[in-house]
Amino acid sequence: MNDFGLVVIGAHSGTWLISLLEKYNGKNILLVEPVPYNIKELIKNTSKYKNINIETSAVSRKKGTQKFYFVKPESITKLGKHWAGGIGSFDKQHILNHANKRFTVTDSDIEEVEIQYLTFLDLIEKYSIFSIDLLQIDVEGAEFEILDSIDFKKILIKKIIFEFKHFDGTFKEGPKLKLIKEKLISSNYSITQIDKENILAEKK
């Protein structure tokens, strides 16, 4: 079994992870990213670091092959929003719900692929993970499915940072977020909202 310094589910291109990669350099790192063009950039952007594993499956509550949606690479340029490459989702409507006057995404801008989904337990077993210093999750509304599936009695996770703004639907927070907060608190975590989008849970 292995101790991991950093596990990121939703690693995107890795551009925004450099400070974390520097911090955990020398420790085992696992980066999960299913969007094909992001995977290419992720490999390039992390090539100088050692002990990095890149997992190209998505993570959800159930294992299997499912549809996955993301903004086409040519549409990212057309739409003029660099973050459009980071809103891949198992729910196409989630992407369409981002549409506004400045981000005119339509159905024709979205690509659909069949990808492999793993459960969090599958991920832990595949990489023989015993403990994690920091688990970071940014998966466009699928955070609840992942966090709700984790058995905190079976793995030590010291810190968790997760995006909460899509917990109960696109740009919605509600009962699901409340349920996860209660689960984390009952698992002996302290909860801190660190900005408008993310929560930090720290093991006491």
Q: Is the pTM of this model over 0.85?
A: yes
Share of the chain above pLDDT 90, in %: 84
Q: Residue range 66-90: average pLDDT?
A: 91
Q: What domains are there in the chain, each with its CATH number?
A: 2-61+120-203 (3.40.50.150), 64-115 (no CATH)
For residue 82, is pLDDT > 90?
Answer: no
Kindly report the average pLDDT of the chain as a whole number. 94
At 172 the pLDDT is 84
Q: Residue range 30-41: average pLDDT?
A: 96
At 173 the pLDDT is 85
At 187 the pLDDT is 97
Dist CA 5 CA 134 (whole Å): 6
Closest CA to 143 of 100, 111, 105, 172: 172
At 32 the pLDDT is 98
Per-residue pLDDT band at 184 (split at 50, 70, 90) = very high
Q: Residue range 83-101: average pLDDT?
A: 91
Q: Residue range 24-42: average pLDDT?
A: 96
The DSSP result for 45-90, as a single string, is HTTT-SSEEEE-SEE-SS-EEEEEEEE-HHHHHHHT-GGGGG--BS
At 141 the pLDDT is 83
At 156 the pLDDT is 97
Q: How many CB atoms lie within 10 A of CB 160?
A: 24
Q: Are 78 and 108 in contact (CB under 8 A)?
A: no
Q: Residue range 24-45: average pLDDT?
A: 96
